[in-house]
Amino acid sequence: MIKLIVGLGNPGKNYQEHRHNAGFWFVESLASLNDSKFTSQSKFLGESSDLNLNSNKVFLLKPQTFMNNSGGSIKSFLNYYDISPEETLVVHDELDLPVGIVKLKLGGGHGGHNGLRDVMKALGSKNFYRLRIGIEHPGSKNEVVDYVLNAPSKSELCAIKESISRASKIVELLVKGSFEEAMKALHT
């Protein structure tokens, strides 16, 4: 069962519209749908919220340490609440998926994503769930940094928001541990 959903992103107004903040957008959307508010939690180096979904409590976390240093925030949260990596869903932007596509998986490598790299290093584990929000690749690896640190076009943003809305509908399945059912619902 998923007990913690982490959105990866960069804190601050200068970054909130950037593609790299798709993970933040997801957890913010979940909080909004459930009338929950994020509060600053210095002991977790982040902002957190919690939801009650079908009598299951699930936490939301937005590390405020910048994308490439997200692992420490997540590790401190997991340690404090005695949550395992396997009970954690990390939501992030994904260059290797087209805009509007969202995929769920357990484990795997970081695929060059520095946020995931730091999470794996801090947790000492790859065995956490990932919700990968497609933002598409700009075409050249030399353009990646500028691409992820800029806002998507209006049509891209619309497709990303639609994919976030679709993915939000499987969260209750994840929280109760129905991963196969959640994957089937999301991927078909």
Considering the candidates 20, 110, 137, 187, report the single residue annotated as catalytic. 20
Find, among 71, 79, 26, the residue nearest to 46 by Cα: 71
Residue 2 confidence (pLDDT) = 96
The domain 4-187: what is its CATH number? 3.40.50.1470
Query: Residue 20 catalytic?
Result: yes
Which residue is it, tokens 């089937």?
184
Residue 112 confidence (pLDDT) = 87
Give the SS3 label for residue 26.
Answer: helix
Question: How is the chain split into domains, by residue range?
Answer: 4-187
Q: How far is CA 133 from the centre of its chain?
A: 8
Residue 129 confidence (pLDDT) = 96
Residue 54 confidence (pLDDT) = 82
Residue 61 confidence (pLDDT) = 98
Instruction: Give the number of other CB atoms < 10 A from CB of residue 43.
Output: 10
Q: How far is CA 156 from the centre of its chain?
A: 18
Mean pLDDT by 10 residues, the chain (188 residues): 97 96 98 96 96 92 96 97 97 96 94 94 96 96 95 97 96 93 92
Residue 19 confidence (pLDDT) = 97
Tokens of 54: 């079908």
